Amino acid sequence: MGISKTPYDVIIVGGGIVGLALALLLAKSNKRIAIVDKKGCVSDFKLAQYDVRVSAITPASVKLFRQLELWSEMVALRVSPFTQMEVWDGDGRGRIAFDASSVGENALGYIVENKLMLHVLWQRVLASAQIEVVTGVELERLQRHEDKAIIDLHAGDRILSAPLVIGADGAQSWLRQAANIAINARDYQHHALVCTVTTEKPHHQTARQAFMPQGPLAFLPLEESNVCSIVWSSAPGHIESLMQLSDAAFAVALAEAFQYQLGAILEVGPRATFPLTMRHVKQYVQPGLALVGDAAHTIHPLAGQGLNLGLADAALLAQLIMEDYAHKHDYVKYSTLRRYERARKADNMTMLAAMDGFKQLFGNDIPLLKWLRQRGLNVTDRLPFIKDLILQKAMGL
């Protein structure tokens, strides 16, 4: 069998939320786009049960989904707005609260299941005449030429080429490694435990997070009034011990750690864990190549910003690419890619540094630091102007 060569305008490696959103944004340019993903259009979203992995979606990310005319579809399935947020130090002496009404918004954000977003995105991608999905394949080799990149698929019976290839293939990005892009990485020395729980008291559409010496614990409100998704970040040994508990014993340990803010834990869903690592690439772009989302950066989940940063990458990169296309360029200029890198690298570095600072500040029991953080939370809570600035930054406004 001969080798099949297929040319595209853009190849996106990775079919996660960020990669699919980027493909749909670029499809508006009437260019030919390929999504290459080993798993492909797999989304086992079920209305009968909540996905164990959820994301806190900011108004800025909602704007992107509205631009793609997908938000109403997500809302029709299941989207959980939260209008208030409460954050406190582990011993309860420092506390701050936020309210969407203070910045003129209906919600601070929305808790959306990852599988739901993938389900809606894949449906739209498969219906697009501009996008071809290449699935069930192993990527073998990346070749770089002056005017195009070439990707060899396993077994050598198909070659994909395009002037621009984009890596949206996650934290272990094949494309990043194939392009020899260096990355700074640091183990947070935390694992995250996630699951869905039913609580004795209603959540009242309020997101809650307690900062404890061993790590943050968040309760994120879901559609049903007494159901939350929890994210518990702690040392690997502690998380492993929690995973070994029976559901009943875990429910007690969780309620105690959360100081019974929502009463007893009445029901516990399946638990899952994953390690937490800070990653940030030294280069977002090379000639004819760009990285977005987790392929470029990963962050501690304590502020729920990971996916939102990736969607912001996709939104800006798509905007700049389409501007080049609008000026009748047959390819995306390296200077355009560098504009993307400068803007997004600066924003992402700021957020990475902020999350690192929060983890260091709240992740210990040094008496002076405990006093400072408690004092800081309480003082900031009494300064509406500062609180609103914090909110606007976190919401992407």
The amino acid at residue 6 is T
Question: Is 229 in the same domain as 93?
Answer: yes
Question: Is 38 in the same domain as 148?
Answer: yes
Question: Is 201 in the same domain as 329?
Answer: no
DSSP code string of 266-291: EEE---EEEEEEEEEES-SEETTEEE
CA dihedral 357, 363, 369, 371 (to 10 degrees): 120
Q: Is residue 194 part of a domain?
A: yes
At residue 379, the pLDDT reads 53
Question: Is 353 in the same domain as 316?
Answer: yes
Question: Is 201 in the same domain as 269?
Answer: yes
Q: Is residue 68 part of a domain?
A: no
The amino acid at residue 51 is D
Question: Is 340 in the same domain as 210?
Answer: no
At residue 62, the pLDDT reads 96
At residue 345, the pLDDT reads 94
Domain count, the chain: 2
Q: Report which of 200, 202, 247 is spatially closest to residue 222, judged by C-alpha positions.
A: 202
Q: What is the CATH number of the domain that holds 282?
A: 3.50.50.60
Q: What is the CATH number of the domain that holds 88?
A: 3.30.9.10
Range of the domain at 269: 54-59+79-111+188-276+363-395
Q: State whether the Cα torsion 377-382-383-388 is positive or negative.
A: positive
Question: Is 41 in the same domain as 123?
Answer: yes
At residue 357, the pLDDT reads 56
At residue 16, the pLDDT reads 95
Question: Is 128 in the same domain as 144?
Answer: yes
What's the start-to-end Cα distance of the chain, in Å?
Answer: 54
Which H helix or E strand runs over 190?
A: strand 183-199
Size of the chain in residues: 397
User: Is 127 strand, coil or helix?
Assistant: coil
Question: Is 193 in the same domain as 268?
Answer: yes
At residue 361, the pLDDT reads 52
pTM of the model as a whole:
0.90
Question: Is 214 in the same domain as 314?
Answer: no
Residue with tokens 């909110």, as numbered in its chain: 391
Q: Is residue 329 part of a domain?
A: yes
Q: Facing residues of 210 across strands? A: 88, 217
Residue with tokens 């798509």, as numbered in its chain: 318
Q: Report which of 230, 228, 231 is spatially closest to residue 199, judged by C-alpha positions.
A: 228
The amino acid at residue 243 is M
Q: Is residue 85 part of a domain?
A: yes
209-233 in b/e form (b: 16+ CB < 10 A) is bbbbebbbbbbbbbeeebbbbbbbb
Q: Is residue 64 part of a domain?
A: no
Q: Is residue 74 part of a domain?
A: no
At residue 257, the pLDDT reads 93
User: Is 101 strand, coil or helix?
Assistant: helix
**C-alpha to C-alpha distance for 95 and 88, rounded to whole angstroms:** 4
DSSP code string of 57-74: E-HHHHHHHHHTT-HHHH
Question: Is 132 in the same domain as 32?
Answer: yes
Q: Is residue 38 part of a domain?
A: yes
**C-alpha to C-alpha distance for 207 and 230, rounded to whole angstroms:** 10
Question: Is 150 in the same domain as 239?
Answer: no
Q: Is residue 323 part of a domain?
A: yes
List, for the chain, all residue ranges whose pLDDT scores fall below the cut of 70.
Answer: 1-5, 42, 90-92, 155-157, 302-303, 328-330, 355-397
At residue 388, the pLDDT reads 61
DSSP code string of 25-86: HHHTTT--EEEEESS-S-----TTS--S-EEEE-HHHHHHHHHTT-HHHHHHH--EEE-EEE
